[in-house]
Amino acid sequence: MRLLRRLGRSPAALAGIFLLLAVAAMAAAGPLLYPEGPWVLIGRPFAWPGELAGRPFGTDSLGRDVTAGILHGSRISLLIGLAATAVALGFGVAVGALAGYFGGWVDDALMRLTDAMQTIPPFLLAVVIVVIVKPTVATIILAIAAISWPAVARLVRAEFLRLREAEFVAACRAMGMSDMRIILTQILPNSSAPIVVSASIMVATAILTEAGLSFLGLGDPNVMSWGTMVGLGRSDFRTAWYLVAVPGVAIVFTVLALNLLGDGLNDALNTRLGRD
């Protein structure tokens, strides 16, 4: 409740929540309003927004409804962003927690692995993974997770290094609690604030990465996402710029919403900045 009150006092957080609810409503409404899906040909190609009744964003080069693509694409873009973030958080938190808590050779080994991953440009690594493996939603999620977890691991490691010598941790050891129980029930909950804030930014980054991959033709050809729409419309940008602008605006507003929510969460979870 205290967190909700603090978020309620943050205009940035409220704006982010409102925009995210709008995107979630779009994702939920897609199958209801357009059950035929985004691939069906419904009219003449290159009908500009407003020219066809019931098709507010017009049609693409093949006569597919751009509005249906936006609504159905929101589901795929959000799915990839949330799933990739969940996988990256799971692996990154595990690596950072073990490295920060145990230290010594465990820390050295895991941090060298993290360093090795961070020496490769992230987007280039994602491109290589998707090119080597067949581009599907699952492989795109794994590729984005693979470039995202090192930052999480370093963040969690820093928190564990700070907290592992705290008095409450020493008390837990004196009580005979196991290392894994201390990690999962004591230190990790007290490290959750920066992880939660980081997660909101990671979702935004994952959506942008998916859009970049799809723009290069490395998206899943069997699903419609905002990045896929941008990629399909780039060849017709000069004559039908709305094919790129409409999904581009959707990406911008979603990423903006996640960044605003992240700023609000940062203020709300930081007790020095937000006290009741």
Measuring CA to CA, which residue among 149, 143, 141, 146 is closest to residue 90?
149
CATH of domain 77-259: 1.10.3720.10
Q: Please give the chain's pLDDT, 276 residues, in tens.
A: 566 677 677 787 888 889 999 999 999 998 998 888 899 888 888 888 888 887 899 899 888 999 999 999 999 999 999 999 999 999 999 999 999 999 889 999 999 999 999 888 999 999 999 999 888 999 999 999 999 999 999 999 999 998 888 888 889 889 888 989 999 999 998 888 889 889 989 999 999 999 999 888 888 888 899 988 998 888 888 889 999 999 999 999 999 999 888 888 877 777 544 444
How high is the pLDDT of residue 4?
A: 67
Buried b (16+ CB within 10 A) or exposed e, 251-274: beebbebbbbbbbbbbbbbeeeeb
Angle made by CA atoms 252, 119, 116, in degrees to the nearest 5: 120
81 burial level (CB within 10 Å; 0-12, 13-18, 19+): buried
How high is the pLDDT of residue 271?
A: 52
How many CB atoms are closer than 10 A to CB 217? Answer: 12
Domains in the chain: boundaries: 77-259
Please spell the DSSP secondary structure of 208-262, one letter per residue: HHHHHHHHTT-S-TTS--HHHHHHHHGGGTTT-THHHHHHHHHHHHHHHHHHHHH
In this structure, what are the phi and psi dihedrals at residue 216, rounded to the nearest 5 degrees?
-85, 5
CA-to-CA dists, residue 88 to 10, 102, 136, 165, 205, angstroms: 28, 21, 18, 27, 12
Angle made by CA atoms 22, 27, 33, in degrees to the nearest 5: 105
Buried b (16+ CB within 10 A) or exposed e, 106-142: ebeebbeebeebeeeebbebbbebbeeeebebebbbb
